[in-house]
Chain A
Amino acid sequence: MSIQHDESPKLMKGNEALAEAAIRANMQAYFGYPITPQSEILEYLTEQVPKRSKAVVLQAESEVASINMIYGAGGAGARVMTSSSSPGFSLMQEGISYIAAAEIPCLLVNVQRGGPGLGTIQPAQGDYFQATKGGGHGDYHIIVLAPNSVQEMADFVFEGFRLAEEYRMPALILADGAIGQMMEKVYLPKEGSLPFTQHDWATTGKPKSRERNFITSLHMEPDKMESVNLHLQDKYRKLRKEERYELFKVKDADIILVAFGLTARVCTKVMDLANEKGLRVGVVRPITLYPFPSDIIASLATPNRVFLTVEMNSGQMVEDVRLAVNGKSPVYFRGRMGGMIPTPEDILLEVEALAEKHNLIQV
């Protein structure tokens, strides 16, 4: 899908660009509950939508209610979205499991903050496991897109709706407090440029001409329940063709940094600083965290290369990097937690130490 954009840019906050993009993507319903650092999404929608569209925007009594309203409205065939931040997103997990099982397309947004518990309102990436490994109960996955700019906050709304509807599953934009709050130049996607097709499975009222539609996740017979699972797993295999990533100078790199979202911005800066010092450093930025771009990472793994994964957590994506590398290169991890953002200087020190350890210093 190629998104059509406005010719001139706007200066906007990540959360607001996302909300504006949702209106332009002809979102039909939004249900949400306030939580920092993403409340601007609900605020922007409650202000703009009544003036511009017929969409439903409803502040629910909780994230539990929001996600179940998404279940209902999405099941009724509407293009639906909700957003939250880490503690609220945890509350949605049961509902997301039901939605994944019932194959209802919807767009979810988690503008992550530091945890565990009530944590902090500062940015973090501690929900990677929750987002990419299922998060709720049972065997399921959701599509996970990791934006690293305000531009991608807007674009991934279109991309997320498209993927969710094509694969009949939830798509998640996994951002963080910094991407949500920062202001940047953005070329907004053009209104109405995302096609919508009516779903024949939706519960819209049963005409005489068809059998009733019902939406459920309940299958009491084990063989039926297994076949539903096999179907989901088959879908997840097909989804792998949607893997997306960005590569910077990896071809000749001795050290490959792997990072997503905000930390990928830090890492491209580290790459520049290291290159100036004569170190051959490249960056892999996974854009889809699920499906994870394993193949490209596997293809880069050679014995004379070193991987360093950088995250704002205690080391979550690094597990997927290790699985992809499969022992062919050493894989290291560097992270900050609790709302701390790693500085380029910090990571550069780590890169220099690795270069020395592995004799990668070229003069």
Chain B
Amino acid sequence: METKIDSMELVYAKPETLTDTPMHYCPGCGHGVAHKILMEVIDEMGITENTIGVAPVGCSVFAYMYMNVDMQEAAHGRASAAATGIKRVLPDKFVFSYQGDGDLAAIGTAETIHTVNRGENILMVFINNGIYGMTGGQMAPTSLAGMKTSTSPYGRDCATMGTPIKMTELIANLPGAYYVTRQSVHTPAAVRKLKKAIKASFEAQKQKKGTCFIEIVSNCPSGWKMTPLESNDWMEKNMFPYYTPGDIKVPQEMK
């Protein structure tokens, strides 16, 4: 049977801001969706030529293989320091960092706090999956109380291992933080909200308003040892009550 392709209606195309390289992420992982949404916004806003991104060390270390914009791959925890360096010498460009919870909220805590405290005009994207995905499922600073990981095999004991850190609430207290929100990518509705948040952040960056910070609560099917569906379910039931999606700091003029 003959098919006539030209009679079809184009309903979706991959944005030019994504390369053709197949992503290495596990099936069902939120990183891939988060990459796509971020790149879609950059494409739609027409700012590709003026955007520089910084990838972390973690599962998204290869973000620069997928994101078709100029990128730097920073040392573990230092993405926001590298982004600061880029933004300071190219103040009229759009700069974003993209980091996991180990990267941003453990080894890179000092850089995170001070980048926001200086109000660097960048967008920080923070993927919180409650675990160290890349190194094979160790406890993260954001692992939930009682959560079993390969380095907390009896469950996270907050008395000795600390309580899961709410980095997003913490940095929201700093005057340098302009817009702070917590989002997710597990449903089409969530994706639409995230898109709006990213767009608002780049708009704010254009006006040099300060740091925009988007936490994306995400799953880690492999690290959590669940199917993708189970992991999304577990995330809603266990992560969301503690890391509740929603805006944390919205300036008056953005409301």
Q: Which residues of A contact B (CB under 8 A)?
A: 28-29, 31, 56, 58, 60-62, 64-65, 68-78, 80, 94-95, 98, 203-208, 212-218
In the complex formed, the residue of B with least CB distance to A216 is: B73
Q: Which residues of B contact A (CB under 8 A)?
A: 19, 48-52, 54, 61-62, 64, 67-75, 78, 81-86, 88-90, 93, 110-111, 113-114
A62 touches B68 (CB 8 A): no
Given contacts A76-B89, A214-B64, A216-B64, contact A206 B82 (CB under 8 A): no
Q: 14 other contacts beyond A62-B110, A71-B85, A205-B93, with CB at 8 A cut-off? A: A28-B89, A61-B110, A65-B78, A65-B111, A68-B111, A69-B82, A69-B88, A72-B82, A76-B90, A203-B52, A203-B72, A205-B50, A206-B49, A212-B64
A75 to B93, CA, bound (A): 14
Q: Which of B51, B67, B74, B93 contacts A68 (CB 8 A)?
A: B74
A65 to B54, CA, bound (A): 15
Given contacts A98-B75, A215-B71, contact A208 B86 (CB under 8 A): no
Nearest CB on B from A23, distance (A)? 16
Nearest CB on B from A63, distance (A)? 11
A217 to B50, CA, bound (A): 23
Inside 8 A of B89's CB, which chain A residues have their CB? 28-29, 56, 73, 76-78, 80
Q: 21 A-B pairs, CB-CB below 8 angstroms?
A: A29-B89, A62-B110, A64-B78, A64-B111, A68-B75, A69-B85, A72-B54, A72-B82, A72-B85, A72-B86, A73-B85, A80-B89, A203-B86, A205-B51, A206-B69, A212-B68, A213-B70, A215-B72, A216-B64, A216-B72, A218-B62
B70 touches A204 (CB 8 A): yes
B93 touches A204 (CB 8 A): yes
Nearest CB on B from A118, distance (A)? 20
Q: From B19, B49, B51, B83, name the one whose CB has the most chain A CB atoms within 10 angstroms.
A: B49
B88 touches A56 (CB 8 A): yes
In the complex formed, the residue of B with least CB distance to A56 is: B88
A216 to B89, CA, bound (A): 19
A214 touches B50 (CB 8 A): no
Nearest CB on A from B117, distance (A)? 8
Nearest CB on A from B102, distance (A)? 16
A205 to B111, CA, bound (A): 24
Nearest CB on B from A30, distance (A)? 10
Inside 8 A of A56's CB, which chain B residues have their CB? 88-89
A24 to B198, CA, bound (A): 41
Nearest CB on A from B73, distance (A)? 4
A215 to B83, CA, bound (A): 13
Inside 8 A of B75's CB, which chain A residues have their CB? 68, 71, 94-95, 98
Inside 8 A of B69's CB, which chain A residues have their CB? 205-206, 212
A214 to B19, CA, bound (A): 13
Nearest CB on A from B111, distance (A)? 5
B82 touches A71 (CB 8 A): yes
In the complex formed, the residue of B with least CB distance to A72 is: B85
A321 to B48, CA, bound (A): 53
A75 touches B82 (CB 8 A): yes
Inside 8 A of A29's CB, which chain B residues have their CB? 85, 88-89
In the complex formed, the residue of B with least CB distance to A66 is: B81
Inside 8 A of B52's CB, which chain A residues have their CB? 76, 203-205
A95 touches B72 (CB 8 A): no
A71 touches B72 (CB 8 A): yes
A230 to B114, CA, bound (A): 38
A68 touches B78 (CB 8 A): yes
Inside 8 A of A76's CB, which chain B residues have their CB? 52, 85-86, 89-90
B81 touches A68 (CB 8 A): yes
Nearest CB on A from B222, distance (A)? 18
Nearest CB on A from B21, distance (A)? 11
Q: Which of B49, B67, B74, B93 contacts A208 (CB 8 A)?
A: B49
In the complex formed, the residue of A with least CB distance to B89 is: A78
Nearest CB on A from B94, distance (A)? 8
Nearest CB on A from B211, distance (A)? 15
Inside 8 A of B49's CB, which chain A residues have their CB? 205-208
Inside 8 A of B86's CB, which chain A residues have their CB? 72-73, 75-76, 203
A65 to B84, CA, bound (A): 9
A68 touches B73 (CB 8 A): no
A68 to B54, CA, bound (A): 12
Nearest CB on A from B171, distance (A)? 14
Q: Which of A203, A205, A218 contacts B61 (CB 8 A)?
A: A218
Q: From A29, A75, A203, name the one whose CB has the most chain B CB atoms within 10 angstroms.
A: A203
Q: Which of A61, A74, A214 contacts B70 (CB 8 A)?
A: A214
Nearest CB on B from A123, distance (A)? 30
B72 touches A72 (CB 8 A): yes
A69 touches B90 (CB 8 A): no
A215 to B86, CA, bound (A): 12
Inside 8 A of B73's CB, which chain A residues have their CB? 214-218
Inside 8 A of B85's CB, which chain A residues have their CB? 29, 31, 68-76, 80
A64 to B114, CA, bound (A): 12
Nearest CB on B from A72, distance (A)? 3
Nearest CB on A from B124, distance (A)? 14
Inside 8 A of B114's CB, which chain A residues have their CB? 60-61, 65
Inside 8 A of B78's CB, which chain A residues have their CB? 64-65, 68, 71, 95
A36 to B73, CA, bound (A): 32
A69 to B81, CA, bound (A): 5
Nearest CB on A from B215, distance (A)? 22
